Amino acid sequence: MLDDFLVRALIGGLLVAVLAAPLGCVVVWRRLAYFGDTLSHAALLGIAVGTLLSISLPLAILLVCVAVALILFALRKHGDLASDAILGLLAHGSLALGLVAIALAGQRIDLNGLLFGDIFAISRSDLFIMGGGAIIILLTLGSIWNDLLAATVSPEIAAAEDARPQRAEMIFLLLLALTVAVAIKVVGVLLITAMLIIPAITARRFAGGPETMAVLAIVAGGGAICLGLYGSFVFDTPAGPSIVVGACALFLLARIIPYGGRRPNS
């Protein structure tokens, strides 16, 4: 079964949907959407570092994204700048450094595949890596889920109840960094933020609670993957952007469908 490139692409895409959707819900609740863009820009710096040092690009991207996540956590905890100012500094600083470093490397890099993904080139080994990453990320997210929810509602109350909100936030930021590194081959560094945000906001209208929203976001993300792959194969369009177009189409459809329920307060 795994010898069929379409099946490999579908499995890889669904793995990313399962990973990105619950994390995206937390991103939406905590108003950290700009952090996804920050990590995608940092990934370009990771590409440059990997090229200059001749190491694995996914590993270099992971290391740089983790470093950016830790810097953000430290500045939010000890700095006197607003979060959006810190994210702007990290996003544009890492993007500029990455572009300069790529130019200095003097090597031709397939930026198109890295920026927008190459899901049809997913190999068996890529699937095993993505599957292992998915298990690690989901198990870790499950272990801090309640602390994250408590910190999202009220960090002060969470701290008073010994929910360790700062520890949960740091782990969450690291999980986002790992997700970016895992998902690059599917939608690319510039579109991963869309897979975090759009399925989550699509699901929010129909969800009655945080867990329900996370499950519905996974369904929306999986639907976007299927629509995008179908459109890419039939109309010969780039797969990564086609997946995001599919996600946007599902969001618009969700806004059109009449629904009288209440969305989660988170």
Q: DSSP for the chain, please give it.
A: -TTSHHHHHHHHHHHHHHHHHHHHHHHHHTT-HHHHHHHHHHHHHHHHHHHHHT--HHHHHHHHHHHHHHHHHHHHHH--S-HHHHHHHHHHHHHHHHHHHHHHHT----HHHHHH--GGG--HHHHHHHHHHHHHHHHHHHHHHHHHHHHHH-HHHHHHTT--HHHHHHHHHHHHHHHHHHHHHHH-TTTHHHHHHHHHHHHHTT-SSHHHHHHHHHHHHHHHHHHHHHHHHHHT--HHHHHHHHHHHHHHHHHHS---S-----
Average pLDDT over every residue of 50-76? 87
Domains and their CATH numbers in the chain:
5-190 (1.10.3470.10)
- pTM reported for the whole predicted model: 0.87
The tens digit of pLDDT for each residue in 75-97 reads 877 767 777 888 888 888 988 99
The tens digit of pLDDT for each residue in 158-217 reads 666 666 778 888 899 999 999 988 888 788 877 888 999 999 999 998 988 899 999 999
